[in-house]
Structure 1
């Protein structure tokens, strides 16, 4: 997949060098927002970029304290995929879609899967759930968005 991204990047970079920076900034912004929308919808459907389902949450044990601190069984990352946390940056040189700050730390733990320790010293193992990544459809939609913009200039 890295080779696909590199090929698209090289191909589009050569085409974009032929237009002025204001046009490049506009098309990068449009593509970044489209990419954020597709990433958020993929996260909402609980899918990795390769199409596999996210690893399910660990089941909660029924103990004396099962009420306190329980996880409500709704879709994972409901707030994390909102515009408040899933940020877009773009300029005439490039674009990025990602998480910043505390949301970024949470996303990194899930993106790569990690073993971490809480403040109380309890250790947790988080399974890998790829929040950000490009699927084949997203790569195609990025290329199409650039082509549509370049075709409109002619």
Structure 2
């Protein structure tokens, strides 16, 4: 994957050098927004960047189960909201990631770390669920966004 990113960088560098700074920022924002939407859809589908499914949630202990059916919300429903999932764009770079307190939660799941469930509560090891990642689909999306920007007469 890193070879693909280097090839993309070498391909796009001379094209971007011809653009004015404001146009590069506009392009970076457009690419970032499209990447964020794609990542939001992938997180909603509960898929890792490689296409594999997220590790399922841990089942509660039998003594703690409540009677009746408990409907659980989708994992990371609030994390993928735009107010937590931000795009930062500049003339030289674009980044898509989590901000604020939710970035800690995202990091724990991204790397499969352990954390306490509540203050002073037991520590639980969370399964690794790759919230952010660059896939071949992301690479194609970036390529397509750059090409549509350049062919739309923006330069």
- State the TM-score, normalized to the length of structure 2: 0.89
Give the equivalent residue in structure 1 for 2:136. Answer: 136
* Partners of 2:113 and 2:71 in 1: CA distance: 22
Give the equivalent residue in structure 2 for 1:113. Answer: 112
- Report the 3-state secondary structure (helix = DSSP H, G, I; strand = E; otherwise coil) of the residue aligned with 2:88: strand
Give the equivalent residue in structure 1 for 2:147. Answer: 147
Give the equivalent residue in structure 2 for 1:61. Answer: 61
* Partners of 1:114 and 1:29 in 2: CA distance: 31
Give the equivalent residue in structure 2 for 1:9. Answer: 9
Give the equivalent residue in structure 1 for 2:51. Answer: 51
Moved more, 122-131 or 5-14: 5-14
- State the TM-score, normalized to the length of structure 1: 0.90
* Partners of 2:30 and 2:53 in 1: CA distance: 28
* Consecutive unaligned residues in structure 1, runs of 5 or more: none
1:121 Cα offset (Å): 5.0
Moved more, 12-21 or 2-11: 2-11
1:140 Cα offset (Å): 0.4
Q: Does 1:28 align with 2:25?
A: no
Q: Number of residue pairs matched?
A: 150
Give the equivalent residue in structure 2 for 1:88. Answer: 87
* Partners of 1:116 and 1:103 in 2: CA distance: 14
1:66 Cα offset (Å): 3.5
Give the equivalent residue in structure 2 for 1:39. Answer: 39
C-alpha root-mean-square deviation of aligned residues, in Å?
1.6
Q: Does 1:74 align with 2:60?
A: no
